[in-house]
């Protein structure tokens, strides 16, 4: 039974998130329905990250097994035919090793958070950024963010419903930059707690407006108390941009026309 690895991008607007739910549209469900439509197989598609409702992706990775063997290019085209109405696209497809797991084989995940800091509201990116009609100091935000980099107990920045066994994580990167009217926050780690990135971004907003300094963010981290966190940033500005797998690429054949990337 061949295993396939796909990389997806999607607009999370209107979805309940990646994971199937009793009610509402999910990314996972849409991909599974697409496979059923052309392949006549009901399969379980496993993703590398369980993005929340309204969260987007440019580099989500997933895997699934099929009884029938498909050429990866034809499989990608068939998936995209049925996914097109849902604003989901499979950008890469490859045959994977049987031991590859999109979630558990991952060695790193990268997220981008976009804040539009200007007086005028967004017209084109209304559901793809966090609009804040205030001045934000990107340099101050970046400086404060460095208090969170490293191996810490991130209880303060963890959702109450988080199911992770431990709140201790190693945050490898938390950089903030200004690009025109946008403030962009880049976060990298092997894995994240539920709502961790959005919680950190919400607290960094306080640093951007001058309400907090680096020491305040460090104190919030040390408190290990959810009440010490700033406001949780909305899902609209969050993107899963990359999942990395180290030396274990997990694939036998790239099966895409963008060059060997796996």
Whether the CB-CB separation of 229 and 203 falls below 8 Å is answered with yes
Helix axes 196-208, 138-145, angle to 10 degrees: 130
Helix axes 196-208, 214-223, angle to 10 degrees: 150
Q: Which of 33, 52, 101, 137 is catalytic?
A: 52
Whether the CB-CB separation of 191 and 182 falls below 8 Å is answered with no
The closest alpha carbon to 185, from 170, 200, 169, 207, belongs to 200
Catalytic (active site) residue 52: yes
Q: How far apart, in whole angstroms, are the C-alpha atoms of residue 217 and residue 228?
A: 9
Q: How far apart, in whole angstroms, are the C-alpha atoms of residue 136 and residue 115?
A: 10
Residue 174 structure tokens? 């938390």
Chain-centre distance for alpha carbon 222: 26
Degrees to nearest 5, angle at CA 107 with 146 and 256: 115
The secondary element (H helix, E strand) that includes residue 177 is: strand 168-179
Q: Which residues are marked as active site? A: 52
């Amino acid at each position: 039974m061949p295993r396939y690895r796909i990389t997806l991008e999607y607009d999370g607007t209107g979805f309940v998130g990646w994971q199937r739910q009793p009610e509402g549209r999910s990314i996972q469900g849409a991909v599974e329905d697409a496979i059923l439509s052309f392949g006549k197989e009901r399969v379980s598609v496993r993703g590398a990250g369980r993005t929340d409702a309204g969260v987007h992706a440019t580099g989500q990775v997933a895997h699934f097994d099929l009884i029938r063997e498909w050429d990866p290019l034809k499989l990608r085209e068939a998936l995209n035919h049925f996914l097109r109405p849902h604003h989901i696209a499979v950008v890469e497809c490859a045959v994977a090793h049987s031991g590859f797991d999109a979630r558990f084989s991952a060695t790193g995940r990268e997220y981008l958070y976009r804040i539009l800091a200007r007086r005028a509201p967004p017209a084109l990116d209304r559901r793809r950024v966090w609009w804040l009609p205030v001045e934000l100091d990107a340099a101050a935000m970046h400086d404060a963010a460095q208090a969170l980099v490293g191996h810490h107990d991130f209880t303060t920045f963890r959702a109450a419903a988080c199911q992770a066994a431990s709140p201790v994580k190693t945050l490898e990167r938390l950089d903030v930059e200004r690009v025109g009217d946008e403030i962009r926050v880049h976060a990298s780690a092997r894995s994240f707690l539920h709502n961790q990135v959005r919680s950190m971004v919400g607290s960094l907003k306080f640093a951007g407006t001058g309400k907090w300094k680096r020491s305040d963010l460090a104190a919030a981290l040390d408190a290990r108390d959810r009440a010490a966190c700033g406001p949780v940033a909305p899902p609209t500005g969050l993107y899963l941009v990359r999942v990395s797998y180290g030396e274990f690429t997990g694939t036998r054949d790239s099966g895409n026309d963008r060059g060997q990337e796996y």
